[in-house]
Amino acid sequence: MKMQQLQYTDKAWKIYMHAEEFDRMQCQLVLAFGPSGVITDTAVFNYLERSYPEAHIILTAAAGEVILPQLFLNSVVVNAFQFDNTIVHCAETNISKHANSYEAGHCLMQQLQQSDLYTAFLMADNTVVNGCELLAGFNKLNSQAILVSGGLTGNRCQFSKAFVGLNQAPGDGVIIAIGFYGRQLQLNQDSFGAWNEYGPVQTITAFKEI
């Protein structure tokens, strides 16, 4: 695998990393993360589409963008991947097309399911998608027990308009699944998150599922 990493800030692009022999014309997958106000700028998608014409381009709203060891809050961070022995397919749906998140997850796995599916990566709008139900529906057809990873979009503390897009400018309610096929890919995973407590203790007496 070869990778290129770049950042869009102040309406300009900067390359942070460019692996030797990386060929943008052979790039299969592009992941872009940034705040809703920037990731939805059509100039961002248009640039990526021109730069990586053969790639699946996923744009996702995020609560912060990381280029080690720095954290940014008003930029777009892009990771472009060129795989040597892995095939990439993407599936997309919108929560508005389904009765619930479970059915949406089931629909995505139906689109990706093949005997050589090795792993899947999901991204969803956290303001309207129930992540637990999405995974339950997806894994209903996961007979090979492949590793499923991914995340829910973020919009800092606003909890609104957390956009996702596949091969187009991001929109709300979008759910994307990326399937990786073949056994040559090696996987590692990690996660980190934290909340700070503040204010009086509250008791939750009811909630509405999404």
Q: pLDDT averaged over the chain?
A: 90
**Beta strand extents in 103-157 (DSSP E only):** 117-124, 147-152
| Amino acid found at 34 | G
CB 181 within 8 A of CB 85: no
Provide the pLDDT for residue 209: 72
What residue spans define the domains of the chain? 2-181
Residue 92: both structure tokens together: 């997309």
pTM above 0.85, yes or no: yes
Q: How far is CA 137 from CA 6, 80, 92, 100, 130, in A?
A: 34, 29, 15, 10, 11
- 196 pLDDT band, cuts 50/70/90, is confident
Residues in the chain, total = 210
**Beta strand extents in the chain (DSSP E only):** 2-9, 12-18, 29-34, 56-61, 65-67, 70-72, 76-82, 87-94, 117-124, 147-152, 164-166, 174-181
% pLDDT > 90, the chain: 69
Reference 60, options 158, 210, 172; nearest CA is 172
The sign one gets for the Cα dihedral 16, 17, 22, 28 is negative
CB atoms within 10 A of CB 20: 5
Arithmetic mean of pLDDT, 65-86: 88
Arithmetic mean of pLDDT, 112-132: 93
Provide the pLDDT for residue 206: 84
**Which CATH number does the domain 2-181 belong to among 3.30.1330, 1.10.1060, 1.10.10, 3.40.50?**
3.30.1330
Q: Is the pLDDT of residue 110 over 70?
A: yes
Provide the pLDDT for residue 191: 67
